[in-house]
């Protein structure tokens, strides 16, 4: 495997069977958007560990305590501000664009601003600043909702398949990719797209707490028989792939699925979380069609009443758990030499341990604040 020689320092990113992955990174300035979130935080952490310079674009109200421990350079601003994007990209060699509206619930205007417009602003600023590489973190949701099938979905599949009515999250992923591919053609953006699936890991603010709490209460069912493949991947493994792609000459103008650490079923995946949380194993089965139909009803009511809170189960969540499709990572393995450094058991145990330790630290503080003052 030929690797472009880009700099003075070498780092091992991982090891695949029979092949060492050696990449040479240039001492450029790296910009990470969304660094206070899950994947962006892992990318920033790994870059700092490798001795790279890291700049982050953060909102004034963001909690940057973790990034402060890493020593990241901070630019305060918002991705909806074009001037802030230009300031952030000045002198930058590689941009990792991870920021996006989190979760699958909200209005189209929220997703358009937080995903599509934000992506357009930072990508246009990157092209204007002549960055060496723009790594756009997309999602397998950019494929839309492909029909269940036997074979794995590859990167050549069309985007935006079978889009649902009232599905702003998926639509925003499709539109954001169209934006960056358009800027690649029109403005010469040196683009690489990473399409991860369901992400989990330390600093997960969306699903980890909810899943662990429900597992402890024994109220998590299997969506269908539980033997369908789950596409889920540890954020640290995706961060490795993004860094490999940013430094690989063959990744320019390419997209890569980074979606799993090997085959795993819904039942196996959920019960690894249960075991890590010392919770009861999950065996209750609920028909997938019934769950999806119920989610559709609940979602319709929530949309019509303009609820800002998501229903108990959304269609997207039901589909994520119960679908019978998978995504091929062969291109990333063959082109980039990517191989997941952590398997499911270790990465899930690490993620749950982080959450439980954080919860144990915060509960006494919450309890003390809630206790009435005594004379």
Phi-psi region of 127 (alpha: psi -120 to 50; beta: other; left: phi over 0): alpha
pLDDT at position 364 is 57
**Cβ atoms within 10 Å, residue 213:** 15
Rounded-to-5 percentages of helix, strand, coil across the chain: 45, 20, 40
pLDDT at position 215 is 97
pLDDT at position 340 is 96
- Asked whether residue 313 is domain-assigned, the answer is no
Phi-psi region of 162 (alpha: psi -120 to 50; beta: other; left: phi over 0): left
pLDDT at position 8 is 30
- Asked whether residue 194 is domain-assigned, the answer is yes
CATH of the domain at 76: 3.40.50.720
| Coil, strand or helix at 31 | strand
pLDDT at position 11 is 36
How many whole angstroms separate alpha carbon 61 and alpha carbon 354?
A: 24
- Asked whether residue 287 is domain-assigned, the answer is no
Residue in this structure with the two tokens 């599949």, named with its chain if needed: 157
Residue in this structure with the two tokens 């790594």, named with its chain if needed: 135
How many whole angstroms separate alpha carbon 90 and alpha carbon 46?
A: 22
- Asked whether residue 278 is domain-assigned, the answer is no
- Looking at the 3D structure of the chain, how many domains does it have? 1
pLDDT at position 322 is 94
- Asked whether residue 307 is domain-assigned, the answer is no
Residue-wise burial string across 318-329, b where 16 or more C-beta atoms lie within 10 A, e elsewhere: bbbbbbebbbbb
- Asked whether residue 300 is domain-assigned, the answer is no
pLDDT at position 21 is 44
| pLDDT beneath 70, residues of the chain | 1-27, 364-375
Task: Please measure the distance between the N-terminal and C-terminal CA atoms of the chain and give it in whole angstroms.
Answer: 72
Full residue range of the structural domain in which residue 127 is found:
9-201+231-261+325-342
The dihedral formed by the CA atoms of 54, 46, 39 and 349, expressed in degrees to the nearest 10? -150
State pTM to two decimals.
Answer: 0.89
pLDDT at position 368 is 43
- Asked whether residue 169 is domain-assigned, the answer is yes
- Asked whether residue 303 is domain-assigned, the answer is no
How many whole angstroms separate alpha carbon 260 and alpha carbon 285?
A: 24
pLDDT at position 274 is 98
Secondary structure of 287-352 as H, E, C letters = CHHHHHHHHHHHHHHHHHCCCCCCCCCCHHHHHHHHCCCCECCHHHHHHHCCCCCCCHHHHHHHHH
């Amino acid at each position: 495997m030929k690797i472009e020689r880009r700099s003075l320092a070498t780092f091992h990113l991982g090891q695949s069977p029979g092949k060492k992955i050696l990449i040479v990174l240039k001492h450029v300035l790296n910009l990470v958007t969304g660094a206070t979130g899950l994947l962006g935080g892992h990318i920033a952490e790994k870059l700092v560990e490798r001795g790279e310079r890291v700049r982050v674009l953060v909102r004034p109200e963001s909690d940057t305590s973790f990034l402060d421990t890493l020593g990241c350079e901070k630019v305060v601003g918002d991705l909806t501000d074009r001037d802030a994007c230009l300031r952030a990209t000045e002198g930058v060699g590689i941009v990792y664009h991870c920021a996006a509206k989190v979760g699958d619930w909200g209005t189209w205007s929220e997703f358009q601003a937080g995903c599509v417009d934000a992506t357009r602003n930072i990508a246009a600023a990157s092209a204007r600043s002549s960055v060496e590489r723009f790594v756009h973190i997309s999602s397998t949701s950019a494929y839309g909702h492909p029909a269940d099938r036997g074979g794995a979905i590859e990167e050549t599949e069309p985007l935006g398949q079978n889009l649902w009515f009232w599905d702003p999250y998926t639509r925003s992923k499709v539109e954001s990719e169209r934006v960056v591919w358009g800027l690649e053609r029109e403005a010469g953006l040196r683009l690489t797209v990473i399409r991860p699936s369901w992400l989990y890991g330390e600093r997960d603010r969306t699903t980890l707490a909810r899943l662990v709490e429900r597992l402890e209460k024994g109220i998590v069912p299997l969506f269908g028989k539980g033997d369908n493949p789950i596409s889920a991947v540890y954020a640290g493994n995706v961060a490795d792939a993004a860094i490999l792609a940013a430094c690989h000459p063959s990744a320019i103008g390419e997209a890569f699925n980074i979606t799993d650490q090997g085959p795993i079923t819904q039942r196996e995946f959920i019960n690894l979380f249960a075991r890590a949380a010392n919770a009861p194993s999950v065996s209750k089965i609920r028909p997938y069609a019934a769950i999806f139909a119920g989610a559709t009803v609940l979602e319709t009511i929530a949309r019509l009443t303009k609820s800002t809170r998501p229903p108990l189960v959304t269609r997207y969540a039901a589909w994520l758990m119960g679908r019978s499709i998978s995504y091929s990572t062969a291109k990333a393995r063959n082109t980039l030499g990517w191989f997941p450094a952590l398997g499911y058991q270790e990465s899930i145990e690490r993620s749950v341990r982080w959450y439980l330790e954080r919860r144990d630290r915060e509960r006494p503080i919450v309890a003390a604040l809630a206790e009435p003052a005594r004379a």
